[in-house]
Structure 1
């Protein structure tokens, strides 16, 4: 995961999020919410919980969903300081992607409980859960051997270059150099970004960070991807992306033969 300029320690203040309409993906019925969260708890994927106004997070798993009591129990974090900050946080954002289905919801303050003789957190069940049941755009993973690079010119402290994980007409997923790299909070916008598409051309785009995903690599280390949307994409830019995706598909079909 190349980083051609050092990430500065101070993150810039995030801009206001865009106006993505999530109403058709939002669960509002308590029965539906409890059922979906129980499914996640049974599957056991890692869940990221952002607290302290998005400045800190823990990696956890959902342990129990008590629909009757209206309570969600999740695992205790590994870092005492982030656990403390989570207990002091009045608003917490949960994000996970079980089997590629992006789920996000907001809860109130967490409290410490015992679950099966172990420390755990508990929160009241959320009133709403956003469940993206399908991707808005077809995404294709970019080459691993020769990764595409997104150069962010207006990053605080100097330009950075981040490797792409995938690309679509709607946006890109970027690898962060470290799991706690600053400057990529939810809603953060960057207006001067460039992505060179081999054999096709250069994309001049503006990006907005829409979600985070922490993954475990084969060596056991954790890495983070951030999903970014293109802001106000122009038809000419979409044409370049379509040409590049088609080119990748042709190359992969040729290799598979």
Structure 2
């Protein structure tokens, strides 16, 4: 979209619903998670909440080009601004920028997906799996869903369309996520040791803004860890 009025309205809706926004700065080398605070269509500017880490905030302020990415209602939105400035909103620091000239909306539900570390595996505890609970290793995760490994290709259940409503993931150090899942696809794979494995792709049930924020924070944490490891 290129209409200034449409752009302002779209950003206002993102702010109104409290969707998390990722700002990539310094040619993608740095990023912060934040929220849009306010949109001033008359003056052609909008404000964004200050990040949690001061060093990251300073890196954003020093960046001449910044890419904003978010996924309101599962529809990826992306736009670019020039340099951000520091302002004070309700007594607290915030970022300010000119409204973008263009906003790109991808109608397909696309999300940044990241694999979980093999050294410190994360497990999804499915409480309502038949007569007993089961723990499935997490392969990757995004705001749009996650993939899980079945412990054995012959494991019963987890058919496409099947739902489980009592699932728990300990997303250290962010927090514990309690959510429902629906199996969307199954993929047979062959591991390095030549054994067969089954990976299931799941979407979330009743994802709340608080849950979405937790997942985005965890994805951001994993990305920072990955960047620190590989430089």
TM-score bucket of the superposed structures, by smaller chain: 0.5 to 0.7
SS at structure 1 position matched to 2:215: helix
In terms of fraction of residues, the more strand-rich structure is: 2
1:168 to 106, 117, 142: 142
Q: Which of 189, 201, 210 is the equivalent residue of 1:215?
A: 189
Distance in structure 2 (CA, Å) of the matches to 1:143 and 1:174: 13
Q: Give the Cα–Cα distance (whole angstroms) in 2 for the partners of residues 238 and 220 of structure 1.
A: 36
Which ranges of structure 1 fall in alignment gaps of 5 or more residues? 1-133
Q: Structure 2: how far apart are the matches of 1:236 and 1:154? A: 23
Instruction: Indicate the residue corresponding to 1:189 in structure 2.
Output: 163
1:134-173 residue pairs with structure 2 within 5 A? 136-173=110-147
Moved over 2 A (4+): none
Structure 2 gaps, min length 5: 1-107
- Measured after TM superposition, the shift of residue 135 of structure 1 is 6.2
- Give the root-mean-square deviation of aligned CA atoms: 1.5
Provide TM-score, normalisation by structure 1: 0.47
| Aligned twin of 2:151 | 177
Deviation at residue 171 of structure 1 after TM alignment = 1.3
Is this contact kept in 1: 2:145–2:203, CA < 8 A?
A: yes
> Greater relative contact order (Cα 8 A, min sep 6): structure 1 or 2?
1
Measure the CA separation in 2 of the matches of 1:248 and 1:219. Answer: 26
Hey, what does 1:232 align to over in structure 2? Answer: 206
The change in CA–CA distance for 1:187 and 1:168 in structure 2 (over 3 A counts) is same
Distance 1:167 1:198 in 2: 14
